[in-house]
Amino acid sequence: MKSRFLTLKPSSIRIQVVEAGKGRDLLYLHGAGGHMPADPLIAALATKYRVVAPLLPGYGQSTGEDELRDMLDITLHGLDVLEALKLKKPIVVGHSMGGMIAAEMAAIARTEVAKLCLLAPAGLWLDDHPIVDIFSKLPYELPGLLFHDAETGGRLLASGGDMNDPEFLKQFLVMNARRLGMAGKILFPIPDRGLGQRLQRIAARTLIVWGAEDALIPPVYGHAFKKAISKSKLVKVAKAGHAVGQEKPAAVLKAIKEFF
């Protein structure tokens, strides 16, 4: 995996783009947690595709988050990124928050996004199945929420730091404030910005993938997405939680290869 930087023309926002692999172009939009260290999903996808994974402003070394306030700002930013990357008919893959952004992009730019893959996307709200408030969770609660196998998840999430070290803690708090501060503009307090009214505009062939054991956004949401998007298929991955791509990268790669 390598990183490069890109300055977007319309907004002057400077973003970091992670790239890996060769093959057909695949755009990957990360979830609220950003990329994991040596992200297993990016690594798996890179065995088959040329993965281009931009970081949203507020994440990694991407800046300009103060200028992105609402869903339209963020969706248009995503389309600016897509245009600037000059990808050839990419498969647009988004996980969780990134799936919500990808679905918005596909609903607004119906002809530009022709292949869409949503991994446990956010964006809908069902009163009978409330989504957990991720913003009030403490770091130690995250592995259990994001992974079916919390122990392995915890190892994947850990970046080798010590929370009792004040300097590390400060860096962690700054990183968290930037990342989840940005995510809050999309997901806080309820991750619904009206996507449900726009899903039927999506013309792309759409693959929806859900971890069967997703404890954050329960799999019932997968059916709601499938119902609303006309050319869509839902695949459930056994023994996987919300971070379905990181927990079962091979299964997700297989589903994408088979569908597109």
Residue ranges in contact with other proteins by CB under 8 A: 65, 69, 135-138, 170, 173-174, 176-185, 188-190
Decide whether 32 or 113 has the Cβ nearer to other proteins: 32
Q: How far is the CB of 202 from other proteins (least distance, A)?
A: 26
Q: Are 19 and 4 in contact (CB under 8 A)?
A: yes
Q: How far is the CB of 139 from other proteins (least distance, A)?
A: 10
User: Which tokens go with 157?
Assistant: 């999430």
Decide whether 32 or 244 has the Cβ nearer to other proteins: 32
Decide whether 63 or 230 has the Cβ nearer to other proteins: 63
14: left (phi over 0), alpha (psi -120 to 50) or beta: beta
Q: How far is the CB of 94 from other proteins (least distance, A)?
A: 21
Q: Are 24 and 91 in contact (CB under 8 A)?
A: yes
Q: How far is the CB of 59 from other proteins (least distance, A)?
A: 13
Decide whether 93 or 180 has the Cβ nearer to other proteins: 180
Decide whether 5 or 135 has the Cβ nearer to other proteins: 135
Q: How far is the CB of 98 from other proteins (least distance, A)?
A: 18
Q: Are 96 and 217 in contact (CB under 8 A)?
A: yes
